[in-house]
């Protein structure tokens, strides 16, 4: 199988009402390819790889400042499909990045490179990349998708858990659980 999808999230971060609220924008684009394993005890298992591009932007409301990270990951993917009936199935997927290219660790404060290139956003985002492997970035992702296939319509619910630890100039440690509900229509 192969898949591609994009995710855009927007929210607010409240620092326990101590300081100020911040807007958070999280963008992600994913490509995955996996091949079905043929062994009888591995039936309905898929093993493959993925490529993920992501950006996380934090805007400190009212302070004309912010922080961001952007990165690209290449890793392994294990997927299992459970078919209950012809119309109901559960898909579980686990992915883990092996190689990561990060353009900037998340930190705040004045960055002279950013201020001198404010009119060149792509240069800010896509330069100063550093290559990190699994000794610096730990980012497992576990995804469960339940689908109900109706005539020309697919209803789904997704639960996604992601843990991120980055040991660079400044340490990043986060954990997130996301729930999505939606439908797709089959085109003829």
What's the pLDDT score for residue 63? 63
pLDDT digits (tens, 9 = 90+) for 76-95: 999 998 888 888 999 999 99
Residues of the chain with pLDDT under 70: 14-20, 40-42, 61-65, 104-110, 169-170, 186-188
For residue 123, the SS3 value is helix
The pLDDT value recorded for residue 153 is 86
pLDDT value for 187? 58
- For residue 70, the tally of other CB atoms under 10 A from its CB is 19
DSSP conformation letters of 95-116: EEEEEEEES-----S--HHHHH
| Sign of the torsion angle spanned by Cα atoms 90, 96, 99, 104 | positive
Q: Are 151 and 127 in contact (CB under 8 A)?
A: no
Phi, psi (deg, nearest 5) at residue 122: -60, -35
pTM: 0.78
Extended strands (E) in the chain: 2-14, 21-36, 45-60, 65-83, 88-102, 130-133, 137-138, 141-150, 153-167, 171-185
- Can you give the pLDDT at residue 96? 96
**pLDDT given for residue 11 in this prediction:** 81
Report the pLDDT value the prediction gives residue 19, as an integer from 0 to 100.
61
Nearest-Å Rg of the Cα atoms of the chain is 19
Scanning 16-171, the segments in alpha helix (DSSP H) are 112-116, 121-126
Q: Degrees (nearest 5) of the Cα angle 51, 161, 88?
A: 90
| pLDDT in the model for residue 62 | 59
Provide the pLDDT for residue 146: 95
């Amino acid at each position: 199988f192969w898949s591609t999808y994009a995710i855009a999230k927007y929210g607010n971060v409240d620092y326990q009402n101590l300081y100020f609220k911040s807007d958070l924008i999280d963008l992600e684009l994913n490509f995955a390819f996996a091949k079905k394993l043929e062994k009888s005890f591995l039936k309905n298992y898929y093993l493959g790889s993925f490529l993920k591009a992501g950006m996380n932007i934090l805007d400190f409301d009212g302070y004309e400042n912010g922080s961001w990270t952007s990165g690209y990951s290449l890793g392994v993917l294990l997927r299992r499909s459970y078919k209950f009936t012809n119309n109901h199935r559960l898909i579980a997927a686990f992915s883990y990045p092996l190689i990561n290219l990060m353009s900037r660790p998340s930190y705040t404060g004045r960055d002279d490179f950013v201020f001198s290139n404010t009119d060149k956003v792509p240069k800010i985002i896509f330069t100063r990349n550093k290559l990190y492997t699994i000794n610096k970035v730990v980012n497992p992702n576990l995804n469960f998708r339940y689908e109900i296939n109706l005539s020309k319509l697919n209803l789904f619910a997704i639960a996604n858990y992601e843990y991120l630890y980055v040991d660079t100039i400044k340490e990043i440690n986060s954990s997130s659980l996301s729930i999505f509900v939606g439908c797709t229509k089959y085109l003829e």
